[in-house]
Amino acid sequence: MRSEKYHIPVLLEESLAGLNIRPDGIYVDLTFGGGGHSREILRRMGKGLLIGFDQDPDAAPNAICDPRFRFVRHNYRYFSNHLEYMGIERVDGILADLGVSSFQLDQPEKGFSYRHDAPLDMRMNPGMPRSAADLIALLDESGLAQLLKDYGELPNARGLARRLASRRQGHPILTTGDLAEAITAVLPPQKKNKMLAQIFQAFRIAVNQEMDSLREMLQQVPGVLREGGRVAIISYHSLEDRLVKNYFRSGDFTGQRVSDLYGQVRVPLAPVSRQAIAPGEQEINENPRARSARLRIAERTPW
């Protein structure tokens, strides 16, 4: 596998400029993938160290042969434990490019896209306990509705869940084609593709426990970043971006600043810019999947 086919780095210049790379610094790429961001970090470093994390076994062959690089095949929700095991107490920068890569979307066997008829899997890590087909078979109607509402932000989640629960009784939903066929008839024709993408997104997020992983990762960042160190996170839908924005601004996922027993508000991270950074027209033209990307950068305060 050639790594350049795995992933076209999104917002590459903006994210690395935001990290403010130090030549002798220690950096963490939490979503290594094809190594596009990591290679550029290494290019800007001197004698520093870069640790790349990825739970997808297909990312491992892309590991960079460089004495300054270490690859860890694990979910980023455990990254601080791995750094501690390596004897690393503080790092200078952390990068995460969330969601699913172009390579993963284009692999039919992954089951991420309704554009290919393939097993309805959606596991980024094959070791995850349940596939999307398992969730559809096991969740009751209310559970399916909650999943579609929370992770797909679909206003008609209850009706879609009722449709899935009804269809699975006579025909198990085992492939991406089964899922798309089961619900296409009840989708407005003019919104069909958008809503199918939202439905597939919802099951992918649930299968991979993406929101729980993101929360756990964010909570570890302040304890790992050195004072003045930076974290850059690229998200692709409002659920992720909202969590990142709230945590950067308040240290709380609800966005509310919480005071301690002495009435003091302690916020460990400070956003570098108030607004998220979006890709420019040229990048979107060259890589249409970058259209929904939003980059947020924060710096570790003296907290």
pLDDT grade, residue 289 (50/70/90)?
Answer: confident
Question: Which amino acid is present at 196?
Answer: L
* 200 plus 222 within the same structural domain: no
* 179 plus 219 within the same structural domain: no
For residue 30, being part of any structural domain is answered with yes
Of 208, 230, 252, at which residue does a domain stop? 208
pLDDT in tens, 156-197: 999 999 999 999 998 999 999 999 999 999 999 999 999 999
Q: Give the whole-angstrom CA distance, residue 21 versus residue 210.
A: 28
Provide the greatest CA pair distance for the chain. 61
* 90 plus 229 within the same structural domain: yes
**Beta strand extents in the chain (DSSP E only):** 26-29, 49-53, 69-72, 91-97, 225-235, 269-271, 294-300
* 188 plus 223 within the same structural domain: no
Of 182, 208, 234, at which residue does a domain stop? 208
Domain that holds residue 40: 3-103+210-300
Say which CATH number the domain at 136 has: 1.10.150.170
HSE value, Cβ hemisphere, 13 Å, CA-based, for 207: 28
* 197 plus 218 within the same structural domain: no
Beta carbons of 57 and 74 less than 8 angstroms apart: no
Say which CATH number the domain at 215 has: 3.40.50.150
* 25 plus 146 within the same structural domain: no
* 12 plus 87 within the same structural domain: yes
Among 189-193, 228-232, 263-267, which stretch is predicted with the lowest mean pLDDT?
263-267
pLDDT in tens, 71-83: 999 999 999 999 9
pLDDT in tens, 12-43: 999 999 999 999 999 999 999 999 999 999 99
For residue 108, being part of any structural domain is answered with no
Q: Give the whole-angstrom CA distance, residue 52 versus residue 64.
A: 9
* 231 plus 179 within the same structural domain: no
Q: Which residues pair with residue 271 across a beta bridge?
A: 298
Q: Who wins on pLDDT, 247 or 116?
A: 247
* 83 plus 224 within the same structural domain: yes
Question: Which amino acid is present at 30?
Answer: L
Q: What is the pLDDT of residue 178?
A: 96
For residue 116, being part of any structural domain is answered with no
Of 208, 236, 262, at which residue does a domain stop? 208
Beta carbons of 227 and 302 less than 8 angstroms apart: yes
Q: What is the pLDDT of residue 2?
A: 45
Instruction: Write the Ramachandran bin of 11: left for phi over 0, alpha for psi from -120 to 50, otherwise beta.
Output: left
For residue 110, being part of any structural domain is answered with no
Give me the numbers of helices (H) and strands (E) for the chain, helices first please. 12, 7
* Domains of the chain: total: 2
* 155 plus 96 within the same structural domain: no
Helix/strand/coil for 83: helix
* 85 plus 166 within the same structural domain: no
Q: What is the pLDDT of residue 245?
A: 97
* 232 plus 182 within the same structural domain: no
